[in-house]
């Protein structure tokens, strides 16, 4: 048997949209991320996989400084967006989070109308000069989120009245509405049934190329289905990063192999 | 290798390996017995080889069913995925190997009883033995996930090819000198060709084993299988 000695992978890619270099994250004394370097690009969907508690969400949140909201969290290392350090004092965090949007595990629409859920972001970012502008943005965002046809006749119903899958697409529409460059998704389908999940996966497929998409998933089949590059995390390390089809057919690292073949723990 | 968290998955993989080991053993025996039947003009043994081939076919069907089930229910990944796909491909090749052995056995009654006097027949058993060993080693390599053993099988393919070329020349010369034996010699030529094909198929199996074990495909190699036109 050929030993798996080759150095894990290409952590770097051509034309990265975001690059992390030696990123460490601490919650108080506890280190959750142990020096991770990785590039993510526009041309593909990147999946983060790994066992629960390995630090996927923690690392994902460093990419739009969501950890800033956790009092005990401390981030070291460098993360750039288009070459610009997002942890630089000059970085406007509100602006950053518009450029790097996030979709969470549990759909969390505001308790407002469908229309308002989409319009909220563009309004605070001053993207619409008029009601007509806003109508255009709302329709475009809902279309891109694959939800327009289902809700166009009830835009003023409450967002929370939608089904779980529709709520999640509404949240994706909300992220899209502020014209982000990167969309981070943290287990966006784990609260959804298989059909709603398939619709989100199809949506991710359609959004690919327009935005750099990073998805955390504990569902390996999902990572295999939606992503072109996969990163495997384990105990705060990035163990392996590579082309998804390679990771799932011929992983280089023993730890990756054990995890994806169901031999973990 | 560590066990799967889901035990039933391990049991299915073990069953798959067991079936392929059995199939390999049967194919190897079929080759051996067909050659023995040919040498001894033993029609009973030849008939048994033909009858036993049904079990090889049945194992192929069983493995196919099991592989489809494993893919559907377990969604195997990485080396597991390579293993089950290799299993599926290997059984279809081994089934063909069984058919070649059966084909040799079917010719036994067609070769007249005076064949014993045909000199070229003496060349065939050792050729059959090499091919049989290749089948044996290729399937052992699969069971042991042994890439080096697979490579050793692939290297031996040229031995069988060389045998074939030499048997071919010998038979042609013999036929020219003994035109009355043409019918028997033609059968022997097909036997030699069948053995040569068995060697090729064993080599294919070994290539699949190599991929399953390492995740790497071998570079395209020279295939010296068939006679060159100038031969
Ligand atoms: N707010 C927090 N405070 C303290 N520890 C945390 C916090 N969030 C996560 N952790 C710890 O950090 C580690 C990584 O967690 P997380 O990033 O949520 O993993 P994953 O998303 O891969 O399941 C875990 O050990 C977890 O307990
Ligand atoms: Mg998480």
Q: What is the tally of structural domains in chain A?
A: 1
Residue whose token pair is 């089809």: A245
pLDDT for position B5 = 85
pLDDT for position B133 = 96
Sign of torsion over alpha carbons A89, A95, A99, A105: positive
State the ipTM, two decimals: 0.73
**A53: CATH:** 3.40.50.300
Q: Check pocket membership of A26 for ligand 1, CB cut-off 6 A.
A: no
Who wins on pLDDT, B184 or A132? A132
Averaged pLDDT for residues A12-37? 95
The percent of residues above 70 in pLDDT, for chain A, comes to: 95
Domain-located, residue A91: yes
- Summarize pLDDT for B137-146 with one digit per residue, the tens: 999 999 999 9
Least confident interval from A49-58, A148-157, A253-262, B111-120:
B111-120
**Distant-in-sequence, close-in-space partners of A16: CB < 8 Å, separation ≥ 6:** A39, A40, A41
CA dihedral B204, B210, B211, B213 (to 10 degrees): 140
Domain-located, residue A151: no
Ligand 1: which residue has its CA nearest to atom 11? A32
Domain-located, residue A147: no
CATH class belonging to B7-214: mainly alpha
pLDDT for position A121 = 95
What are the phi and psi torsion angles at A233 (to 5°)? -105, 145
Domain-located, residue A130: no
Question: 3-class SS at A37?
Answer: strand
In whole numbers, what is the pLDDT of chain B averaged over residues?
Answer: 90
Domain-located, residue A228: yes
Residues of chain B with C-beta less than 8 angstroms from the C-beta of A248: 77-78, 81
**Taking the model in full, what pTM does it have?**
0.84
Averaged pLDDT for residues A79-91? 96
pLDDT for position A5 = 36
pLDDT for position B118 = 72
Averaged pLDDT for residues B167-193? 92
Domain-located, residue A230: yes
Long-range pairs for B68-73: beta carbons < 8 A, 24 or more residues apart: B69/B12, B70/B9, B70/B12, B70/B13, B70/B16
Q: Please report, in angstroms and rounded to a whole number, the separation of the first and last CA atoms in chain B.
A: 49
Statement: residue B7 has pLDDT above 90: no
Statement: residue A162 has pLDDT above 90: yes
Domain-located, residue A244: yes
The Cα A246–Cα A253 span in angstroms is 12
Per the structure, the complete domain to which residue A23 belongs is given by 6-110+182-260
Domain-located, residue A12: yes
Averaged pLDDT for residues A231-258? 95
* pLDDT band, residue B229 (cuts 50/70/90): very low
The Cα A175–Cα A94 span in angstroms is 13
Least confident interval from A7-16, A146-155, B6-15, B49-58:
A7-16
In whole numbers, what is the pLDDT of chain A averaged over residues?
Answer: 93
pLDDT for position B91 = 97
pLDDT for position A85 = 97
Whether residues B2 and A251 touch (CB distance < 8 A) is answered with no
Averaged pLDDT for residues B135-154? 95
* pLDDT band, residue B170 (cuts 50/70/90): very high
The contact set of A with B (CB < 8 A) is 1-2, 220-221, 224, 248-251, 256-258, 260-265
- Domain parsing of chain B, residue ranges: 7-214
Ligand 1 atom with the smallest distance to the CA of A56 is 22
Q: Mutating which of B11, B78, B214 best tests the A interface, going by the most A Cβ atoms within 10 A?
A: B78
8 A C-beta contact, residue A225 and residue A201: yes
Which of A1, A251, A264 lies closest to B145 in CB terms?
A1
**Distant-in-sequence, close-in-space partners of A71: CB < 8 Å, separation ≥ 6:** none
The Cα A249–Cα A261 span in angstroms is 10
Beta pairing class for A73-81 and A84-85:
antiparallel
């Amino acid at each position: 048997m050929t030993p798996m000695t080759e150095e894990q992978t290409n952590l770097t890619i051509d034309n990265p949209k975001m690059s992390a270099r030696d990123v460490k994250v601490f919650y108080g004394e506890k280190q959750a991320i142990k020096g991770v370097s990785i590039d993510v690009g526009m041309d593909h969907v990147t999946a983060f996989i790994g066992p629960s508690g390995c630090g996927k969400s923690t690392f994902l949140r460093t990419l739009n400084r969501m950890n800033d909201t956790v009092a005990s969290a401390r981030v070291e290392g460098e993360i750039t967006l288009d070459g610009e350090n997002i942890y630089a004092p000059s970085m406007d965090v509100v602006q950053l989070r518009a450029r790097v949007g996030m979709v969470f595990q549990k759909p969390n629409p505001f308790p407002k109308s469908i229309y308002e859920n989409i319009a909220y972001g563009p309004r605070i970012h001053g993207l619409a000069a008029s009601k007509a502008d806003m109508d255009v943005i709302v329709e475009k965002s809902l279309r891109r989120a694959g939800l327009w046809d289902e809700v166009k006749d009830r835009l003023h119903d409450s967002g929370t009245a939608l089904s779980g899958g529709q709520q999640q697409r509404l949240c994706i529409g909300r992220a899209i509405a502020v014209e982000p460059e990167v969309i981070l998704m943290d287990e966006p389908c784990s609260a959804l049934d298989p059909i709603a999940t398939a619709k989100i996966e199809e949506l991710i497929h359609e959004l690919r190329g327009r935005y750099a998409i990073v998805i955390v998933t504990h569902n390996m089949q999902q990572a295999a289905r939606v992503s072109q590059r996969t990163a495997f995390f384990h105990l705060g390390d990035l163990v392996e990063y590579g082309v998804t089809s390679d990771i799932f057919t011929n992983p280089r690292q023993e730890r990756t192999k054990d995890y994806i073949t169901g031999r973990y723990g | 290798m560590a066990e799967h968290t889901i035990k039933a998955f391990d049991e299915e993989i073990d069953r798959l390996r067991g079936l392929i080991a059995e199939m390999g053993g049967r194919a190897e025996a079929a080759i051996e017995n067909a050659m023995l039947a040919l040498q001894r003009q033993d029609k009973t043994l030849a008939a048994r080889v033909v009858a036993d081939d049904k079990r090889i076919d049945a194992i192929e069907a069983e493995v196919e069913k099991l592989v489809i089930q494993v893919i559907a229910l377990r969604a195997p990944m990485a080396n597991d995925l390579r293993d089950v796909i290799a299993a599926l491909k290997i059984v279809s090749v081994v089934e063909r190997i069984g058919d070649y052995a059966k084909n040799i056995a079917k010719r036994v009654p067609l070769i007249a009883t005076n064949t014993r006097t045909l000199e070229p027949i003496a060349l065939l058993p050792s050729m059959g033995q090499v091919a049989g060993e290749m089948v044996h080693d290729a399937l052992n390599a699969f069971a042991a996930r042994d890439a080096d053993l697979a490579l050793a099988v692939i290297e031996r393919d040229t031995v069988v090819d060389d045998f074939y070329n030499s048997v071919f020349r010998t038979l042609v010369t013999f036929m020219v000198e003994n035109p009355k034996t043409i019918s028997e010699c033609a059968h022997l030529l097909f036997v030699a060709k069948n053995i040569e094909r068995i060697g090729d198929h064993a080599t294919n199996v070994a290539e699949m084993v190599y991929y399953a074990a390492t995740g790497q495909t071998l570079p395209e190699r020279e295939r010296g299988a068939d006679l060159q036109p100038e031969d």
